[in-house]
Structure 1
Amino acid sequence: MIEIGKFNTLTIARGTSVGLYLTDGTTDVLLPNKYVPEAWNEGDEFTAFIYLDQEERPVATTLEPLIKLNDFALLRVSYINNYGAFLNWGLEKDLFVPFREQARPMEQGKRYLVHMHLDEKSNRLVGSSKLNQFLKNEDLDVTEGEEVDLIVSHFTDLGINVIINSKYKGLLYQSDVYEDLRLGERIVGYIKTIRPDNKIDVSLQKGGVEGIEPNAEKVLDELRASRGFLRLTDDSHPEDIKTVLKMSKKSFKKAIGTLYKQRLIEIKEDGIYLVQS
């Protein structure tokens, strides 16, 4: 079965004057001439992205879209008409976001984090900036300490709201952020705490003993890049550590403690030195 809004691996059924017809054995879809490779044979498998053209007919493309079915992406508004906004998602036909699916009125030229789904009534791909309806923290399949994919979705005074594995809502506390993050940015994080009400706190660093090793490696990398010396000590201001190493003072102290025990660094009054092997 051909899936709209996704990459499909289909079979080349036949060539025509307008392009190749790809099939799943039941349904055929056109791959226009502009996307047809120089060499092809009937019966070969071919992977293409399937979406709907201007007449709402399935069509294939080899272009890489900026968003896929049931996922999220930061997209720019190309234009607005009486029906809604149309966002550039990397394909010839823009992604339609009806007014009813806009968390706030969209403006031409601005970018918004949206979710793309298949509208049940029209069977068309549409976008929505009302993200909460697509995020449910009821049945969680993540555990504390687990590595997860995060999408930055909203900035607040408390911290940064994130989307976890394109399924759940989470919060990254401002005190745990040691780098500049952008709306829509995709990053790797870790489940820090799952509360009794299924609210999730996340971190950009592993917790506990495991979290020391990546930080220790980060300190080593910075030392190597700085000719074996960093003007940082236990007494350094947390902001100085954050600026140089993008980590908290607590993580820094654990990291240099690990490196010192392994005799990889020397700690002196003016800073830390890389032990030359």
Structure 2
Amino acid sequence: MNLGDYNELEVARFVDFGLYLSSDDGDLLLPNKYVPAGTQIGDVLRVFVYRDSEDRLIATTLEPLARVNELAALTVRDVSDNGAFLEWGLEKDLFLPYRNQRNNVRPGQRLTVYVYLDETSDRIVASARWENFLHADEPFAGQPGDAVQLFVAQETDLGYTVVVNGQYLGLLYHNEVFRPLRLGDKPTGYVRQVRPDGKIDVRLQKPGYDEAVDAAETLLAALRAAPNRTLPLSDKSEPDDIYRRLGMSKKVFKKALGSLYKQGLVELLPEATRLLQE
């Protein structure tokens, strides 16, 4: 049985307050409120296993915001002399020991943590020193322009510290960010360069020609779907309006607009863009 993860366990018997699931570590309680309707003895249920407030192993069908060995951006519910308690989608909050905090935290604060199983106490805990848990087996083998999966971990003066493909530290500079980001976001990014120290500079949009082509196709599709084939966007529109409607920066939008105009596909109005007959 995997503590802090999902397990598929067989229903062994019913009791007044729930049912017991059989496992190699003994029978495990699933309280009544989590028992799916129509469950019978012998059924196999997919449950998350953790410890309750009395340190007993227990099962739930609730889905936590993070499992063991995962990164997550969680909100602090409460603090004590020993540490903080984080909301993670289960009845019992996730404990962030004081020794694992980077700075003192406060209720309502959102922070990035790594969830792990403490070997000494056999409890699921969090660490705000999440970078200590990134153990890449090999140097990053990607090339500039490659698409990568990002996890937005921390905002800095330069931009955002991100985790690339779940293993590598990266940096997304402020001038590459054209939309609001929050801790825990998982956008697709593109490699700008791999620095000698192994850290990776990334961006949010495809570089060069591919970026312009994709943006033009996106704009064309939006115009076709718009009422009267007209979008209330022009090269004078606010960047936030452009991003909200099209998911691209103003700079990229203007490239796409110019491309469609040169092809004779659009009419440029003072505050709008109209698709001409294709």
* Matched letter for residue 239 of structure 2: K
* Partner secondary structure for residue 65 of structure 1: coil
Query: Residue 88 of structure 2 aligns with which residue?
Result: 89
By how many angstroms is 1:25 displaced? 5.2
- Between the two proteins, what is the percent identity of the paired residues? 44
Give the alignment's Cα RMSD to 1 decimal: 2.7
Residues 255, 12 of structure 1: CA spacing in aligned structure 2 closer, same or farther, 3 A cutoff?
same
How far is the alpha carbon of 1:52 from its aligned partner? 0.9
**Cα deviation digits, residues 121-145 of structure 1 (max 9, x gap):** 1111001111221234672456233
Retained in 1: the 8 A contact 2:47–2:59? yes
Q: Match of 2:146?
A: 146
> Which stretch of structure 1 is more off in the superposition, 197-206 or 251-260?
251-260
Pairwise CA distance, 1:15: 2.0
Residue 231 of structure 1 deviates from its aligned partner by 5.4
Assess if the C-alpha contact under 8 Å between 1:191 and 1:201 holds in 2. yes
Deviates more, 1:135-144 or 1:82-91: 135-144
| 1:120 corresponds to 2:119 | yes
Counterpart Cα distance in 2 of 1:40 and 1:141 = 47
Query: Do 1:96 and 1:127's aligned partners in 2 also have CA atoms closer than 8 Å?
Result: yes
Stretches of structure 1 lacking an aligned partner (at least 5 in a row)? none
User: Is the aligned partner of 1:243 residue 2:240?
Assistant: yes
What TM-score, normalized by structure 2, do the two folds share? 0.84
Classify the secondary structure of the residue corresponding to 2:214: helix
Q: Structure 2 unaligned runs (5+)?
A: none
CA distance 1:109–1:254, change in 2 (3 Å): closer
CA displacement at 1:219 relative to structure 2: 2.4
Q: Which residue of 1 aligns with 2:33?
A: 34
Name the SS for the 1:255 alignment partner: helix
After superposition, the C-alpha distances for 1:35-69 in whole angstroms (9 at most, x for unaligned) are 11221222222101111112322210011112221
* Structural mapping, 1:58-207, within 5 Å: 58-136=57-135, 139-140=138-139, 143-144=142-143, 145-207=145-207
Equivalent pairs counted in the alignment come to 271
Question: Does structure 2 conserve the Cα–Cα contact (< 8 Å) formed by 1:89 and 1:95?
Answer: yes
Does the 8 Å CA contact 1:137/1:198 hold for their aligned counterparts? no
Q: Deviations over 1:8-44 (max 9, x none)?
A: 1222222223322223456432111121122122222
Distance 2:277 2:250 in 1: 25
Equivalent position SS for 2:66: coil
Following superposition, the deviation at residue 78 of structure 1 comes to 2.2
Deviation at 1:99, TM superposition (A): 0.6
| AA aligned opposite 1:155 | E
Structure-1-length-normalised TM-score? 0.84
The 1:14/1:229 distance shift into structure 2, 3 A limit, reads closer
Q: Does the 8 Å CA contact 1:52/1:59 hold for their aligned counterparts?
A: yes
